[in-house]
């Protein structure tokens, strides 16, 4: 159910959870100072309590009330990438409620690039926002995706479609360097002019999962439609009826082709990605062949990672 800006403010202030647009994906929002609402987010999403949330600010200067220490180059990163699809993990004090950060000594912060979202946060104070999808499902990039997962009555602040379409890129300072904990809408090479190097991407297999994982969220199943995905990198199609592919490519006749976009425009593909995965479910697909024959630099790396995660069966 679409709600107005003033309804969004009063619902959030009264301790309710609502969906809020950002330039990356829709978020399920609660006020940082409403622990019961934060608790409710975990229940609604079916999200493990061990998976911490990102805190969204209207202005990065507001970090000072939470953060105990700033790593090298932090200020340059903040000035360059905020507002934007960059999330920074920083050491924090007890002003960040334990439930929001899964009892970790750090928390993730982001200043979203959508003016509507920042205006809202100015009225409500900092908001925690995981993506507005049931845990494990593709993220939501339209209000109707939120309604698919949480029902028609669920309050959604209308913000149209998300311009980026994939989540923020998460960075963490692991002495002596910044590393990427989650690929996202800002490609790894964008950080090079600021840091002097391209941050490494920490793969979930490189993490010691027994001890504290660096990015708990990466351990859980993600972005998956109900359909089984067959990831192919040459056009030898399996017997799947459905194909996720690109508009320049010819695919065999008789297949139901769901277009991700153009091979020349990774931004467009990122923007369409979750809609395409959700479309498979809308059409009742049991399995789909995914054309993985595309580049692996820049944003394509994020697109490949999301499709691979979406195809995991465990």
Binding region for ligand TXA (CB under 6 A) = 22, 24-25, 27, 51-54, 85, 87, 89, 101, 104, 106-108, 110, 129-131, 167-168, 170, 181-182, 215-218
Considering beta carbons, is residue 129 or 183 the nearer one to ligand TXA? 129
Considering beta carbons, is residue 170 or 285 the nearer one to ligand TXA? 170
Q: Minimum distance between the CB of residue 159 and ligand TXA, rounded to whole angstroms? A: 11
Residue showing the smallest CB distance to ligand TXA in the complex: 217
Q: Minimum distance between the CB of residue 194 and ligand TXA, rounded to whole angstroms? A: 19
Could you tell me how many residues make up the chain? 314
Considering beta carbons, is residue 131 or 163 the nearer one to Mg ion? 131
Q: Minimum distance between the CB of residue 60 and ligand TXA, rounded to whole angstroms? A: 14
When CB distances are held under 5 to 8 angstroms depending on the partner's kind, the choice from Mg ion, ligand TXA, none that residue 170 binds is ligand TXA
Q: Minimum distance between the CB of residue 13 and ligand TXA, rounded to whole angstroms? A: 20
Q: Minimum distance between the CB of residue 93 and Mg ion, rounded to whole angstroms? A: 26
Considering beta carbons, is residue 127 or 257 the nearer one to ligand TXA? 127
Q: How far apart are CA 53 and CA 50, in angstroms?
A: 10
Task: Annotate 286-307 with DSSP letters as a single string.
Answer: SEEEEE--S--STHHHHHHHHH
Considering beta carbons, is residue 22 or 34 the nearer one to ligand TXA? 22
Structure tokens at 106: 């750090």
Considering beta carbons, is residue 24 or 246 the nearer one to Mg ion? 24
- Select from 102-110, 126-134, 227-235, 293-301 the region that touches Mg ion (CB under 5 A): 126-134
Residue with tokens 């509507």: 116
Q: Minimum distance between the CB of residue 282 and ligand TXA, rounded to whole angstroms? A: 22
135 binds Mg ion (CB under 5 A): no
Q: How far apart are CA 283 and CA 281, in angstroms?
A: 5
Tell me which residue of 170, 167, 174, 166 sits closest to 212, measured CA to CA.
174
Structure tokens at 156: 């959604």
Q: How far apart are CA 37 and CA 43, in angstroms?
A: 10
Q: Minimum distance between the CB of residue 23 and ligand TXA, rounded to whole angstroms? A: 8
How crowded is residue 124: how many other Cβ atoms within 10 Å of its Cβ? 23
Q: How far apart are CA 12 and CA 124, in angstroms?
A: 7
Considering beta carbons, is residue 130 or 245 the nearer one to ligand TXA? 130
For residue 119, give every residue at least 6 positions away whose Cβ sits within 8 Å of its Cβ, in sequence order, or none: 5, 58
For residue 254, give every residue at least 6 positions away whose Cβ sits within 8 Å of its Cβ, in sequence order, or none: none
Instruction: Give the count of residues interacting with Mg ion (CB under 5 A).
Output: 1
Considering beta carbons, is residue 22 or 302 the nearer one to ligand TXA? 22
Q: How far apart are CA 195 and CA 163, in angstroms?
A: 26
Residue showing the smallest CB distance to Mg ion in the complex: 131
Q: Minimum distance between the CB of residue 71 and ligand TXA, rounded to whole angstroms? A: 13
Task: Annotate 26-92 with DSSP letters as a single string.
Answer: -EEEEETT-HHHHHHHHHHHT--TTS--EEE-SSGGGGGGTBS---TTHHHHHHHH-SSSEEEEEEB
Choose which of 24, 117, 131, 218 interacts with Mg ion (CB under 5 A).
131
Distances (CA, A) of 88 to 92, 182, 212: 12, 11, 18
- Summarize as ranges the residues that interact with Mg ion (CB under 5 A): 131
């Amino acid at each position: 159910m679409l709600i107005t800006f003033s309804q969004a403010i009063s619902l959030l202030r009264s301790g309710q959870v609502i969906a809020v647009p950002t330039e990356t994906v829709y978020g399920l929002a609660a006020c940082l100072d409403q622990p019961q609402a934060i608790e409710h987010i975990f229940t609604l999403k079916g999200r493990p309590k061990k998976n911490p949330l990102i805190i969204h600010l209207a202005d990065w200067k507001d970090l000072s009330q939470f953060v105990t220490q700033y790593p090298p180059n932090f200020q340059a990163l903040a000035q360059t990438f905020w507002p934007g699809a960059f999330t920074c993990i920083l050491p924090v004090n007890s002003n960040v409620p334990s439930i929001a950060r899964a009892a970790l000594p750090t928390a993730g912060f982001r200043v979203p690039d959508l003016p509507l979202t920042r205006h809202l946060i100015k009225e409500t104070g900092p908001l925690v926002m995981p993506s507005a999808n049931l845990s494990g499902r593709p993220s939501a990039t339209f209000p109707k995706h939120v309604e698919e997962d949480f029902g028609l009555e669920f309050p959604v602040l209308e913000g149209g479609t998300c311009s980026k379409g994939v989540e923020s890129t998460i960075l963490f300072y692991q002495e002596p360097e910044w590393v990427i904990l989650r690929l996202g809408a800002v490609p790894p090479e964008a950080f090079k002019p600021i840091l002097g190097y391209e941050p490494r991407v920490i793969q979930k297999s490189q993490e010691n999962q027994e001890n504290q994982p660096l990015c708990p969220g990466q351990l859980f199943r993600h972005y998956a439609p109900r359909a089984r995905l067959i990831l192919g990198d040459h056009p030898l199609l399996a017997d799947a009826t459905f194909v996720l592919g690109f508009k320049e490519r010819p695919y065999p006749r008789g297949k139901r082709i769901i277009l991700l976009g153009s091979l020349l425009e990774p931004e467009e593909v990122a923007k369409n990605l979750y809609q395409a995965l959700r479309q498979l479910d809308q059409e009742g697909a049991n399995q789909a062949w995914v054309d993985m024959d595309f580049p692996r630099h820049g944003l394509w790396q994020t697109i490949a990672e999301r499709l691979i995660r979406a195809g995991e069966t465990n």
